[in-house]
Chains A and B, each alone.
Chain A
Amino acid sequence: MPHTDPWHPFKEAVADPDQWISNWKRKTHRHVVAHLLPDAPEEIIHACGALPVAISGASRPIEKAYAHVPSYICGHVAGALEMQLRGHLDYADAIVITYVCDSTRNLYHTWKHLFPQEPLHLIRLPKRLDMFAASGAFLRDEFFRFSEFLSAALGCRVSEEKLVNSVQVYNQRREWLRRAYQIHQNCPETWTVYKLRLLMYSALIMPPEAHMACMAALPWEHSEPSPPSRLRRVYVRGKLWEPPELAILFDEAGFVLAGDETSAGYRHIEQDAPAHFDPWQALADRFLKTVPYAGYFSEPHAGPEALLERVRSSRADGVIFIDPKFCETFGFDTPDFQKILKQNSIPSIVLETSPSGGQAEQLRTRLEAFSELMGNSG
């Protein structure tokens, strides 16, 4: 009997993603390609007939991985290795690591050393977002090289036609998700941060076609704007929405997401791949137009100013930085980014999240205090 809760498919996927993916694989007999966040080209994996799934290593208890990496390596990387060591990625037919920082680059080599038989690929995302042409040409080639890896590993071939189709499918799904964000901003008490996170995180593991079919069953048409006057609009910058309880804590604290540039948040869906005769280049262009991840380079002075502009445009009451502990890329940005906000009387808070999660009560207290602060500043 079908479940009556339209949110159930998303809850099921997010509650135990490893099990969900394994079940999917058993039913469909298709390939699964697991990738690290951010910025893996899911469309290319999809065009190969495989399911792209994001490896969600952060906030998992880490024990086995610390036999291979020091305890001061970020939880995203250590957690991914932990998952592999525990067999939680046994469903994967290939692993893709996107090189965005030293730790992810190193993880590739550790993985290769420990699991030499596993098909593994490193996508070298260019950091020079200020050199559009040169980076775009390099990345196009890099994406093509990735497709050749998939072809060898999975016995598939990514034709241009298939890729064009996959680009369209993913663009469609992103449009749905952007709509979900808008509805959340209008009706945050029914389309909560928690529900938004369900949609975003289930999108990281569910096939886009099935995901869109499930989204179609959501109560879009029953959503009427309700003025969130007592709720605080917050802009979030950070790596991931971790720990998982964070979304619930946001709802409890009375927050509305005015903007979200986390890797698995709005940043992940804001840009579509443009209509282009060359789908490889279209994907490269999409990457270059996306809000920069902390590990990429644009003009240094522009970084804080651009954040300020995005925060202002979003009409946020305050900014929350989610900085993973031991993450050098975010750690070096946050002080100057906070400074410019302070100079412009926009309150902000830094949540330093632990590699293994488990800080819900601490985070609750801090978010409640921040909510009060925003109320006093407003």
Chain B
Amino acid sequence: MVNQLQSIGKLKTINADYWKTVHSARKDGKFIVYTNAFSPVELLYSMDFLPVYPENHAVILGAKRLNEKAMKAAAEMGYSPNLCSYARTDLGDMHAKTSPVGGMPKPDLLVVSNCQCGTLHKWFEAIARAYKVPMILLDVPHAGNATNGEEEQAKTYVRAQLEQLVDVMEDISGRPFDMGRLREVLLESQKASQLWEEALSLAAHVPAPLTVFDQFIAMAPIVAQRGTSVATDFYRQMVDELHERVNQKIGSVEPERFRLFWDNLPMWPELRSLSDLLARKGVALVSAFYTYCWTNLAVSPEDPFGQWSGEWAGMRYSTHINLERRIEAYAALAKKFKLDGFLFHSNLSCKMISQFIPDLKQALSEKTGLPGLIIDADHNDPQHYSMSSLMLRLEAFIEMMGSSRSRSES
């Protein structure tokens, strides 16, 4: 059985209002910027540029299974089915127009950071050409093998790009950058990020008051509206409800037999089917790589440009693209969340995160003794997987965990 969180019910209105706001941005004297999750969204808000996320929009179409036409359109445009399905959904929907939220408003600017992935950079180039609008790439040198002392030049490089971004936004809007406004937005962003982290951490309780499926649904505000009071207010309510559940020992999944970790992006078209299957088997997904990414994106209001340059040039946003750090982080999460195993989503559309999975699974098995299952699927394209086959594998994995537990208990 799944106990639904009441606070999540508010998301329907929050999300609808967000789309209304972006569609009326120009009437309200604001500008539209397409951006990605790991970009300095607070800077954009502070300069009256409303961030709109092509990834987020692609998720909406994928989760509602409305993206088949869009992906077909993308194929007709010449985009290989082996490319990221978020991108194919988004690019294809420019022609297919199946969006349930009125589509993406025409942008004034595109801003993308490649510390998330290089695919976004290429995807955004295609969007820039389609809309004939300026694009800024924030190129973040990967801190793979550099020590702190050698990163000054990297920080200087990133800072120069951030300053260029400010110049471009000032040119488009005709309004000067205001550090005071940025600091206010950052404070708000910090509050929301801290509440989000608190919400995720509460899943360490047994039984977990929320699952990763709740997190996937609830993450929209921290992605799209981080830096606004909308996100802060929502997560405050959610955290309050979670604390109540913890006090009353109400779990999201009852009975909770196993606690697992989900690696990689969600399978958006299958949230319901996976949630139902796992709940029937008493499996709670209590932690995930994807949702944790949004716990530490807000930099401090003191010297934000320095921090962005330093954090990006450093390792904060790079954990997921550093195999060793990912192994350490997951092993720590295994203890914190009292995990029984790992589910690794080998996601054809996200080669960046998926590339490490075979070695990650092996290393974690050796380090934690916990079993893991690799699921070959896709975050937004059902044509890349078979749900029947996947369900069978999941059931077999859960049975295996059950047998192991019975043996060790006897």
Binding site for B on A (CB under 8 A): 66-70, 72-73, 99, 101-103, 105-110, 112-114, 120-122, 124, 126-128, 131, 134-135, 137-138, 141-142, 145, 294-295, 297, 300-301, 303-304, 323, 325-326, 328-329, 331-336, 338-339, 350, 352
Residues of B within 8 A of A294 (CB): 122
**A134 near B160: Cβ-Cβ < 8 Å:** yes
Distance A47 CA – B141 CA, assembled complex (angstroms)? 25
Within the complex, the shortest CB–CB distance from A128 to chain B, in Å, comes to: 5
Distance A303 CA – B141 CA, assembled complex (angstroms)? 23
**B residues contacting the other copy or chain, number (CB 8 A):** 53
* Seed contacts A304-B129, A333-B125; 4 additional CB < 8 Å A-B pairs: A128-B157, A137-B157, A295-B118, A328-B122
Within the complex, the shortest CB–CB distance from A70 to chain B, in Å, comes to: 5
Secondary structure type dominating chain B contacts: helix
| Known contacts A145-B146, A304-B129, A332-B125; is-contact A102 B118 (Cβ 8 Å) | yes
Within the complex, the shortest CB–CB distance from A182 to chain B, in Å, comes to: 33
Distance A98 CA – B91 CA, assembled complex (angstroms)? 29
Distance A109 CA – B123 CA, assembled complex (angstroms)? 25
**A113 near B323: Cβ-Cβ < 8 Å:** yes
The one of A66, A114, A142, A332 in contact with B122, judged by C-beta atoms closer than 8 angstroms, is: A332
B291 at the interface (CB under 8 A from A): no
B357 at the interface (CB under 8 A from A): yes
**A134 near B122: Cβ-Cβ < 8 Å:** no
Within the complex, the shortest CB–CB distance from A178 to chain B, in Å, comes to: 30
Within the complex, the shortest CB–CB distance from A97 to chain B, in Å, comes to: 9
* B306-331 to A contact mask, C-beta < 8 Å, 1/0: 00000000000000011110000000
Secondary structure type dominating chain A contacts: helix
Which B108-163 residues sit within 8 Å CB-CB of chain A? 114, 117-119, 121-126, 128-129, 132, 135, 137, 139, 141-142, 144-146, 150, 153-154, 156-157, 160-161
**Taking CB as reference atom, which chain B residue is nearest A329?**
B122
The one of A68, A102, A114, A120 in contact with B321, judged by C-beta atoms closer than 8 angstroms, is: A102
Q: Can you sample 18 A-B contacts with CB below 8 Å?
A: A67-B358, A68-B359, A69-B355, A70-B351, A72-B82, A72-B354, A103-B351, A103-B355, A108-B145, A110-B359, A120-B145, A121-B145, A127-B121, A295-B118, A301-B132, A323-B80, A331-B80, A336-B126
Binding site for A on B (CB under 8 A): 77-80, 82-84, 87, 114, 117-119, 121-126, 128-129, 132, 135, 137, 139, 141-142, 144-146, 150, 153-154, 156-157, 160-161, 164, 321-324, 346, 348, 351-352, 354-359, 363, 376
**B82 near A326: Cβ-Cβ < 8 Å:** yes
Residues of B within 8 A of A134 (CB): 156-157, 160-161
Distance A131 CA – B141 CA, assembled complex (angstroms)? 14
Distance A114 CA – B324 CA, assembled complex (angstroms)? 11
Distance A103 CA – B353 CA, assembled complex (angstroms)? 10
Distance A126 CA – B158 CA, assembled complex (angstroms)? 10
**A124 near B142: Cβ-Cβ < 8 Å:** yes
Within the complex, the shortest CB–CB distance from B168 to chain A, in Å, comes to: 12
Residues of A within 8 A of B351 (CB): 70, 72-73, 102-103, 326, 328
Distance A328 CA – B353 CA, assembled complex (angstroms)? 14
| Known contacts A73-B351, A300-B135; is-contact A138 B153 (Cβ 8 Å) | yes
Distance A70 CA – B359 CA, assembled complex (angstroms)? 10
**Taking CB as reference atom, which chain A residue is nearest B155?**
A138
Within the complex, the shortest CB–CB distance from B363 to chain A, in Å, comes to: 7
The one of B122, B157, B160 in contact with A333, judged by C-beta atoms closer than 8 angstroms, is: B122
**Taking CB as reference atom, which chain B residue is nearest A330?**
B122
Distance A73 CA – B228 CA, assembled complex (angstroms)? 39
**B137 near A127: Cβ-Cβ < 8 Å:** yes
**B142 near A328: Cβ-Cβ < 8 Å:** no
| Known contacts A106-B356, A109-B321, A142-B153; is-contact A334 B141 (Cβ 8 Å) | no
